[in-house]
């Protein structure tokens, strides 16, 4: 306002010459008058006003510069330091599995570095996951949920206590949780092998054998088959993708984030597609109707399998150069249709073979991603198909780890006609 007033006064002083003679206007412009008078510039008042206005402009520009600099520094600081969890005075964790060391609200939060970005090991629609070192040799994974996305604490407690009953060798173990109106997080066992997403990214520089790929694919198929068919009620994952699959040092695969969509029931605006899932992995019918089914998980599994054998992402940047912009599904279909099947696989994988197993994995990925739900197999069928293709050899690598998996396989039904349909790429109706 002060700057505006100064400019206003300056303007009025300059235009005051409306009642002055032309000679006075010429003197203002620095010209001598008609009588040969001396040149005359700005008056002292005018010079004072101009100087004051210029000084204020420079001052305001400096303030603006300082403002944006501090704003940038604040944003940079936030990346490394998340807000401290609000305290209610009764921070008590609910523990389901003892680790041999005390597990408290304080040492979990401190173990994550107060949820700093450097300890973040993954992010998704349900929240971010952090590595937390509780004590030397004891590390856990902490899934911090966005409170606004969750149901109330009583409903949250009820759902969590239901989820803790779901146990399987290929499901990540829930150790405990904390829930309050202002903070909610889950504590899982930590796996040093990282996520499948990290594995796919790292193996781009080396050839990974089909046995290792088949083992990972089978582990996840068994886990999903268990959730769909052995749990009552049926548990839908709704967000199967490489970042939600974790590995140990022996490449045993574990499915995480199962059942979390139930914690967010009634709040689904957190996902990019409007449903509980990630764009690129969501089945067409689920994206259109927002109604999930076991076949929705099958589609997501198929996308994951195509990523695993190709080292491509679901929406890989390399697809943008293709006509119409392919997804990994349409890209793989196009290559197989044109007789370029070997180009689907990661560099060196096709040459390492065996070719038959590679073709079967590709065929399975494409059938799982059939456009319509009835055209996809069930997860039990997917599991048995992989065993019949030779993945059963991999299953025996770690007998202790897979004892429950063998039980799940024994429960699966898979007749010869279904095997023939899958081998020929025909549509498979739900069992």
Enumerate the known binding-site residues for ATP.
Answer: 143
Residue 242 carries which DSSP code? G
What is the distance between the alpha carbons of residues 365 and 294, in angstroms, rounded to a whole number?
A: 16
Is residue 250 within 8 A of residue 288, CB to CB? The reply is no
Q: Please say whether the beta carbons of 385 and 357 come within 8 A.
A: no
Pairwise CA distance, residues 185 & 150, whole Å: 11
Q: Order across the sheet with 120-124: list the strands.
A: 94-95, 174-179, 184-189, 138-145, 127-135, 120-124
The token pair at 429 is 């109706």
> Longest Cα pair distance anywhere in the chain, in angstroms?
117
* β-bridge mates for residue 255, sequence order: 171, 245
| Structure-block tokens of residue 332 | 């793989």
Residue 244 is given by DSSP the state G
Q: From 167, 180, 189, 191, select the one nearest 94 (Cα to Cα).
A: 180
Bridge partners (DSSP) listed for residue 127: 124
Angstrom distances, CA of residue 165 to CA of 141, 173, 258, 262: 19, 10, 12, 14
Q: What single-letter DSSP state applies at residue 167?
A: -
Cα dist from 119 to 114, 132, 200, 291, whole Å: 9, 7, 21, 35
- CB-based contact 412:384 (threshold 8 Å): yes
The token pair that represents 188 in the structure block: 């899982």
Q: Please identify which of the residues 219, 229, 239, 297 carries the catalytic annotation.
A: 239
Q: How far apart are CA 376 and CA 305, in angstroms?
A: 14
Residue 187 contacts residue 142 (beta carbons within 8 Å):
yes
The yes-or-no answer on residue 416 being catalytic is no
Q: Which residues contact 172 (CB under 8 A, 6 or more apart)?
A: 141, 188, 189, 191, 246, 254, 255, 256, 258
Any idea which residues carry the catalytic annotation?
Answer: 239
């Amino acid at each position: 306002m002060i700057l505006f007033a100064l400019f206003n006064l300056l303007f009025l002083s300059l235009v005051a010459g409306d009642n002055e003679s032309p000679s006075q206007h010429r003197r203002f412009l620095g010209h001598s008058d008609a009588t040969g008078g001396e040149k005359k510039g700005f008056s002292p008042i005018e010079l004072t006003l101009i100087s004051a206005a210029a000084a204020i402009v420079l001052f305001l520009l400096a303030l603006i510069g300082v403002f944006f600099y501090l704003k940038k520094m604040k944003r940079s600081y936030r990346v490394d330091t998340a807000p401290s969890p609000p305290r209610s005075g009764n921070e008590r964790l609910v523990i389901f599995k003892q680790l041999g060391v005390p597990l408290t609200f304080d040492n979990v939060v401190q173990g994550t570095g107060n949820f700093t970005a450097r300890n973040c090991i993954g992010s998704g629609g349900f929240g971010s996951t952090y590595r937390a070192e509780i004590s030397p040799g004891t590390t856990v994974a902490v899934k911090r949920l966005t409170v606004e996305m969750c149901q109330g604490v009583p409903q949250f407690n009820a759902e969590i206590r239901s989820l803790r009953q779901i146990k399987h060798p290929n499901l990540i173990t829930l150790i405990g949780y904390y829930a309050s109106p202002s903070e909610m997080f889950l504590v899982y066992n930590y796996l040093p092998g990282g996520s499948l997403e990290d594995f796919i990214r790292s193996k781009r520089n080396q050839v990974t054998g089909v046995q290792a790929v088949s083992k990972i694919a089978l582990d996840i198929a068994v886990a999903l088959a268990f959730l769909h068919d052995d749990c009552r009620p049926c548990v839908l994952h709704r967000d199967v993708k490489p970042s939600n699959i974790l590995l140990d040092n022996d490449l045993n695969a574990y499915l995480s984030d199962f059942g979390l969509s139930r914690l967010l029931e009634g709040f689904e605006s957190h996902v990019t597609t409007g449903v509980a899932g990630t764009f690129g992995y969501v089945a067409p019918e689920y994206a259109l109707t927002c109604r999930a089914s076991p076949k929705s998980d099958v589609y997501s599994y198929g996308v994951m399998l195509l990523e695993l054998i190709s080292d491509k992402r679901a929406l890989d940047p390399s697809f943008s150069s293709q006509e119409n912009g392919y997804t990994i599904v349409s890209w793989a279909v196009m290559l197989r249709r044109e007789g370029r099947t070997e180009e689907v696989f990661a560099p060196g994988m096709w040459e390492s073979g065996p070719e038959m197993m590679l073709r079967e994995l590709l065929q399975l990925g494409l059938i799982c991603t059939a456009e319509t739900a009835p055209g996809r197999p069930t997860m039990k069928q997917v599991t048995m198909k992989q065993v019949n293709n030779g993945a059963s050899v991999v299953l025996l690598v770690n007998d202790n780890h897979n004892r429950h998996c063998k039980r799940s396989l024994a429960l699966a039904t898979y007749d010869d006609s279904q095997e023939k349909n899958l081998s020929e790429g025909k549509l498979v109706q739900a069992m």
